[in-house]
Each structure stands twice: as C-alpha cells, then as structure tokens.
Amino acid sequence: MYPPELKSKEIELPENLEKNIVLISFNSLRHERFAYRMKQTFGDRVKAWYRLDNNRQKRFSENQSSASNQSNKEKLLIMARSAKKRSRGPGSLALAMSLARTLHQKLDWRHFGNKVRRAEERMFGRELRLLKKDIKLSPIDMHPSDVSSTEFVQEIRDIAPYFFLSLGGPLYRQELLDCITGVAINQHAGHSPDYKGTHTTEWALYHRNLTCISSTVHVTTSGADAGPILRRSNPCIFPDDTPATIFLRVAALGTELMIETVQSMISNNSYVIFPQPITKGMTYIGKNMPPHVLRSVFRDFKKGWLQDELLRRSKF
C-alpha cells in the first residue's frame, strides 16, 4: 500500500528504453526466492543476477581485506577492541564483563541466524525447489565488497540496466546508481522512515509495535533505506509465528511488493513516490544493537505477546 502519512509526488520514467533488469541479493533461501520470483515474473528481461556471499573470494582485487580473509586471532582482537570501547568503566573486570556481553550477543545472533535458516527451509524450501525446476537462472557470485569496485561499476555500466533490483547488500555508491537508466529499487525489511537500517523487524518487535512490522520498497539512494518510498505494507502474521518467521514473512512480502511495483512501472511510464522526511525515524545500525534487545523479544514471544496483540488488534 501507499504510506498514508507521507506526501506523494509523481515521477516520469525515461521512455523508449529496453526495460531490462539486474538483480543483486545475498545467497540465503529468501534471497534466492527473490531472484527466482523476479525471473519467473519478468523472464528474459532479467539480464544478470549478482549473488553476494561473505565467504566468497573477491572477484575484483582492488578492495581491502574482507572479514572472510581474517584469521580467528584477528577476529578475536577486533572483538576485544570493541569490548574495550563498550566497557562501562576502567579496570580488567569491566573489560572482562564487556567481553562476555559481546560474546553473548554474538552467540544470541548466531542462535537467531540458525532459527532463521531452519524457518527459511520450512517456508520457502519447497517453493524454491519448484521454481528451480522450471526456471534457469545462473548467479554471478561475488563478495559484498566487490559492489564498490570500479570493475563492478563498469560491468553494470555495460549492461545499462533499466531496473537495478536489490535485496540486502551494502550501501551502493552514487557512481554505480548513476549507471542505471531507469530506476534502482531496494526492498527493505522495515517500516521506513521510522525504522531504517538493519535488524529493523527485531527493533519493531522490541518496541512491541506490530504496525511497524513492515516491508518497504523504495528507490535506492546512497543512504540506508532512505530513498523515496514506492510501496510499504505489513505481512500476514500467523499467531504461532516466531521472530524468525515474522522476519521471513516481511522478506517474502517485500519481494511481492517489488514485483507489483516493477510490473506497474513496465506498463506505465510514470510512478508515484513518497519522499521520506529527513527528520523522521531512526537508522538502526547492527553493531549498536544491545544484547538485551533480542532476548527481550524472545521473552515476549514466550509469554504469548504476539497472540495477545493479534487478538487485541482484531477487537474493535
């Protein structure tokens, strides 16, 4: 749907150009579903799918060293430095406690990540297997840091895509976005402008704000999820859902909203945008998420908050 609180603006799209598509996503099942659904809907318009993987070797050499190339010792050192920054006072005890908190947080996220992967298989596994049976789509694998390389920008410039559709990924350089002949669109698992950045579904759950469990499809700009909104809507939540399944529902909805948006842009040369107010909302950064947030969300779910909230919403 359109965001009711924002002002709309009509934009004309360039005409007489081939409306070809380049996709960019990560490599989990929800990201693969995104790519295959696009290919299923738009067929030969899809010219390339760049699949990002943190564990991949870089395609282009000019970039700085990536996390995957770091040794365990280096990773521990980084963690210790971050713990030191966060320690709540001087002395080794404060540092040790901060380190324990950092480790705990990492374990919480790893645990959550495993839950997401299991739920992904349950929710999308079958659908994706069927899609893969019918559709031929070969990804170009690369490391996320490759996105910022001049070689990648040149590759995109050569394709000259009309649509550059992304799910996840790093921030895109303006130079790259300038290569798009039509429009670059991103699907964000959050309620922009209120919740921009990362882990926005978890933050909205932490705030017990079901209205802000949303998927936003927006024009990609060099800012995080800050581009003009094209569509935004809420997922269909099931009473038995967990934080992991809710996040995946948001992702699945985003893909469907993206399809609708692109379909409408292919058939009409104008579209409605809703610029995001600069002073509204918050950009959440993954590293800034305190450890208690995720644990509070799990605690709420264990106590049946979701069922109660869904019931409350239906009683008017």
Partner 1 sequence: MKKAWYILNYHDISWEQNEYLNAVGESFPPDIFSEHVAALSNEFELVSIQTGWERLKKGEINSPILSFWFDDGYTGVRRYAEPILSEKKVAGGVAVNSDFLLRKDFFWRLKLSYLSNVDGLRFLRPILRENGYKTGDSIREFTLTHVNETIVDGINKIYEQLSSPLQREDSWRLFEDIDGIKQLAAKGWDISNHTCGHFPLLNKPDFFSIQNQFKSCEERLVKHLGFGTTFWVLPFGRPFYNQLDHQRLFEKNAPDDKIMVYGNDLLNKTGELQKRELYRITVKLIRSDKLLKYLKRLKPFKGKD
Question: Which residues form the interface with partner 1 (CB under 8 A)?
Answer: 1-2, 4, 8, 122-124, 126-127, 130, 211, 233-240, 249, 252-253, 256-257, 260, 272, 310, 313-316
- CB of residue 207 vs partner 1: minimum separation in angstroms? 17
| Choice between 125 and 290, CB closer to partner 1 | 125
- CB of residue 108 vs partner 1: minimum separation in angstroms? 25
Q: Are 215 and 185 in contact (CB under 8 A)?
A: no
What's the CA gap between 262 and 258, in Å, rounded?
A: 6
Cis amide linkage into residue 193, ω under 30° from 0: yes
- CB of residue 125 vs partner 1: minimum separation in angstroms? 10
| Choice between 75 and 122, CB closer to partner 1 | 122
DSSP bridge partners of 274: 229
Q: Which residues of 140-151 are buried (b: 16+ CB within 10 A; e: fewer)?
A: eebbbbbbbbee
| Choice between 28 and 98, CB closer to partner 1 | 28
- CB of residue 193 vs partner 1: minimum separation in angstroms? 17
| Choice between 130 and 282, CB closer to partner 1 | 130
What's the CA gap between 34 and 28, in Å, rounded?
A: 10
| Terminal alpha carbon distance of the chain | 22
Q: Are 204 and 234 in contact (CB under 8 A)?
A: no
- CB of residue 123 vs partner 1: minimum separation in angstroms? 4
| Choice between 18 and 121, CB closer to partner 1 | 121
Of the candidates 29, 262, 22, 55, the one whose C-alpha atom is nearest the C-alpha of residue 152 is 22
